[in-house]
Structure 1
Amino acid sequence: MNTRNSIVYLVMLFVSLKAYSQNSAQEELNYAKTLDQRASKIVNTLEIADSAKYNRVKSLIVNQYRELNAIHEGKKAKVGTEETAASRLTLLHSEYLKKLSAELTSEQVDAVKNGMTFNVLAVTNKAYQDMIPSLQPDEKTQINTWLVEARELAMDAGSSEEKHQIFGKYKGRINNYLAKRGYDLQKERAAWNARLKR
């Protein structure tokens, strides 16, 4: 490569790196904005009057999303093992809940969990109770227990699709449980749909 070609190559490389850097900076700004909006939406439901506390809680949520993303991106890039990622998620989950609990009541912590999982727990619980009005107290308790377990796992998922897949798995478990308890879910669903149309 002669001197002139070397200079042209270096100029093109510099321009490419600068464009890449600008794109990366813009992507980071967009990502930060998305996380801020997502966290604000959750924190706004908590009725926190103290602005300093509001900002601390919002920061905790934003940081949690960032840490979760880093772990899941590492899994995609095959950095470390699945076991390493799983143990990092478990530790991150535990630390996050400790930090939230230091700032919030248990009801507010639950509201954060629900916000991070699109309120699927409450919606699904209500749907089962509306669909099967004859559910017994122990059955309602079991359904809620599994949905709470699903929510804990879904909080750490890498995407909304993965969160919904986790809840889907638990809904399957609930449906099997109810079928074993003698409920005809197709019949219950048809009757529920008929009630909704009325």
Structure 2
Amino acid sequence: MRKGFSRLILLVVALGATLQFASAQFKSTKAEQDPAYVKVIEQRVAKIVAPLHLTNAAKQQKVQNVIEQQYFDLNKIDADEQKAIDAINQGQLSKGAQKDAIAATKSRTDAKVAALHPVFVARLNQLLNKDQVAEVKDGMTYHTLEVTYKAYTDMLPDLTGKQKKQIMAWLVEAREHAIDGGSSKEKHAWFGKYKGRINNYLSKAGIDMKEAEIAWKKEGSPPNYKIG
């Protein structure tokens, strides 16, 4: 019993140390950002926070700051990566060495983003309940999860409960990756990847996805929306 409690204490201490380390490592203040970019992010985040209907002004500002900081940190990580890649491209490396150096740079970027993710989510969880955290994630990813889930269930009304549950699970997973995307293109790319997985899953269940989508569009599906 004591051993289990000691492990729990160590886990809590380790998590706290991780949060502090990551916070210090990725801290990027508004002063370091382009004023025009800061304004865009402030407006974008305000729209994400508004649906939470927080009545405590101080708490609302804390949530606003946490989400803004995530955007600033991701922007800095992306900018640092691009700077490193530009330096590699301008260097005297052979094509093979250049390719390896760029791959290593991207790998370091992925590691930084991976370290940043749990810190951001932990901060949200400290301030918001489960549903509110999900709302923030939806806002950061343009509500693509709910739009995509509705598209599948509208197009395929005979989906089983098990299939619907699996589709939702994969879309939630896609959203978790997408909140780390530094651009809308990156965010949508994650959902595109998981839509491919969903389509393969449904095809193996005997559903002709191409025929289903054609029929769905004839019935008046959202214009320009593609499942595949």
Per the normalisation by structure 2, the TM-score is: 0.72
- Aligned residue runs from structure 1 range 49-198, under 5 A: 49-78=55-84, 81-196=105-220
Q: Which segment is superposed worse, 56-65 or 165-174?
A: 165-174
CA-to-partner distance for each residue in 1:131-160, whole Å, 9 max, x for gaps? 000001111111111111111111111210
1:169 shift after superposition: 1.2
- Aligned residue runs from structure 1 range 2-13, under 5 A: none
CA-to-partner distance for each residue in 1:163-183, whole Å, 9 max, x for gaps? 111111111111111111100
CA-to-partner distance for each residue in 1:4-51, whole Å, 9 max, x for gaps? xxxxxxxxxxxxxxxxxxxxx9x8221111010011000001010111
Query: After the TM superposition, which segments of 4 or more aligned residues of structure 1 sit over 4 Å from their partners?
Result: none
| C-alpha separation in 1, matches of 2:74 and 2:52 | 22
1:193 shift after superposition: 2.3
Per the normalisation by structure 1, the TM-score is: 0.82
| C-alpha separation in 2, matches of 1:28 and 1:116 | 21
| C-alpha separation in 2, matches of 1:81 and 1:29 | 28
| C-alpha separation in 2, matches of 1:78 and 1:173 | 33
Structure 2, unmatched stretches of 5+, are: 1-30, 86-103, 222-228
| C-alpha separation in 2, matches of 1:91 and 1:185 | 37
CA root-mean-square deviation? 1.7
2:150 maps to a residue whose letter is K
Q: Which has the higher contact order (CA 8 A, sep 6+)?
A: 2
